[in-house]
Amino acid sequence: MLKLEARPQPSRFWSLASPVLALVITVVIGVLLFMALGKDPVKGLQVFFWEPIRSPYALGELMVKATPLLIIALGLAVCFRSNVWNIGAEGQYVIGAVLAGGVALLADKDTGRWIVIVIVLAGMLGGMAWAGIVAVLRDRFNANEILVSLMLVYVADMVLSYLVYGPWKDPAGYNFPQTKTFEAVTQIPRLMHGSRVSIGLVIALAGVAGLWIFLFRTRAGFAQQVSGLAPAAARYAGFSSRRALWLALLASGGAAGLAGALEVAGPIGQLTPYVPAGYGFAAIIVAFVGRLHPVGMVFSAILMSMFYIGGELAQSRLGLPKSLTGVFQGLLLFTLLACDTLMAYRIRIQPMLKTA
């Protein structure tokens, strides 16, 4: 018989090895899934793990996908370390995209490049405002932030749909629900010619360094983490739980709104009903697979972007549904939660007792 035996203290080894084991199990289940669907598992794994890195252009597209995932995950890490469960980063991402798109629509051919800064700031403020609704309801009325933030995602989607089907709809767009294409002056600067990778990647990497310094080298970051791990101890030390709540939600909302602004003024170039790409939900997995550590989330964001690109390639090359991306994301999260059991428990083989 297999028995779970509690460890005297959490295993440091399994805190690092658990995501690796979860990925291995996900790959094994993926192979079985490809076989069940009648597809060559080697080709299936190839489109997910080789095609996204096989050329410089593919690597660039990988970075395009990884950038918003990493930026949103960095903000969520502040929340989750503070024991504030912001599940609605997708809605904050959408509202950030909407406000950034609204500013971009004001530009014309005579507008200067300074408009890019305003677009980015508008996106951040939009995400912060949307997360601020959650903070107000949690702070003033003790509303559950999980439910409130999640429900606001659908409100944000409706706001976007109303605008692109209504007042912001492009009159020359052949009745498609989309705004006009933004002027070239609003385009987020790209890092190199011939690639879609923008300065958003630099911003994301700067965010990694900034979050590391904040969490592990500042008193405010220490207060955030203590407020999440031991609220009573935080209060005894004089740390404000309200300040921790507001800081966590505004930081995560601002990060999600920034990602939305970088997307609509970057690769997308206009507002459409397809702006919500699930990045806000996928970033939750990125944060936990990366162990809420800034450096760990870099690798998990790359892994999750491989799932996105692999799902698109599996649809076009293997005839599989695009929902396969969500299947792999869900498998990774499920197996990670299962493997995390090994952090607190060890498996013991217990001999079965013989019955007379």
Please write the tens of the pLDDT for every residue from 269-323: 999 999 998 999 999 999 999 999 999 999 999 999 999 999 889 988 888 888 8
Domain for residue 110, yes or no?
A: yes
Domain for residue 317, yes or no?
A: no
Residues 6 or more apart from 26 whose CB is under 8 A from it? 328, 331, 332, 335
CB 131 within 8 A of CB 86: yes
Residue 2 has pLDDT above 90, yes or no: no
130 compared with 3, residue with greater pLDDT: 130
| pLDDT single digits (tens) 46-103 | 999 999 999 999 999 999 999 999 999 999 999 999 999 999 999 999 999 999 999 9
* Predicted local distance difference test score (pLDDT) of residue 355: 57
105-110: long-range pairs with CB below 8 Å, 24+: 105/168, 105/179, 105/180, 105/182, 107/182, 107/183, 107/185, 107/186, 108/183, 109/183, 109/185
Domain for residue 19, yes or no?
A: no
Helix pair 200-217, 294-317: axis angle to 10 deg: 150
* pLDDT confidence tier of residue 246, bands split at 50, 70 and 90: very high
Domain for residue 14, yes or no?
A: no
Number of domains in the chain: 1
* pLDDT confidence tier of residue 354, bands split at 50, 70 and 90: low
Burial class (CB in 10 A: 0-12, 13-18, 19+), 218: exposed
Strands (E), the chain: 2-6, 345-349
* pLDDT confidence tier of residue 353, bands split at 50, 70 and 90: low
Domain for residue 5, yes or no?
A: no
Residues 6 or more apart from 287 whose CB is under 8 A from it? 73, 76, 77, 80, 297, 300
| pLDDT single digits (tens) 11-51 | 989 988 999 999 999 999 999 999 998 999 999 999 999 99
- If phi over 0 gives left and psi between -120 and 50 gives alpha, with beta otherwise, what is residue 278? left
Residues 6 or more apart from 159 whose CB is under 8 A from it? 94, 95, 98
Average pLDDT over residues 259-264: 97
| pLDDT single digits (tens) 124-163 | 999 999 999 999 999 999 999 999 999 999 999 999 999 9
User: Taking all residues of the chain, what is their mean pLDDT, rounded to a whole number?
Assistant: 93
> Cα(74)–Cα(342) distance, rounded to whole angstroms?
26
* Predicted local distance difference test score (pLDDT) of residue 323: 83
Domain residues for the domain of 98 are 68-296
Residue 252 has pLDDT above 70, yes or no: yes
CB 328 within 8 A of CB 22: no
Residues 6 or more apart from 250 whose CB is under 8 A from it? 128, 131, 132, 135
Residue 356 has pLDDT above 70, yes or no: no
First to last CA, the chain: 18
Average pLDDT over residues 184-196: 90
Domain for residue 85, yes or no?
A: yes
Residue 327 has pLDDT above 80, yes or no: yes
Domain for residue 323, yes or no?
A: no
* Predicted local distance difference test score (pLDDT) of residue 230: 83
pTM, entire model: 0.94
Domain for residue 192, yes or no?
A: yes
Q: Over pLDDT 70: what percentage of the chain? A: 99
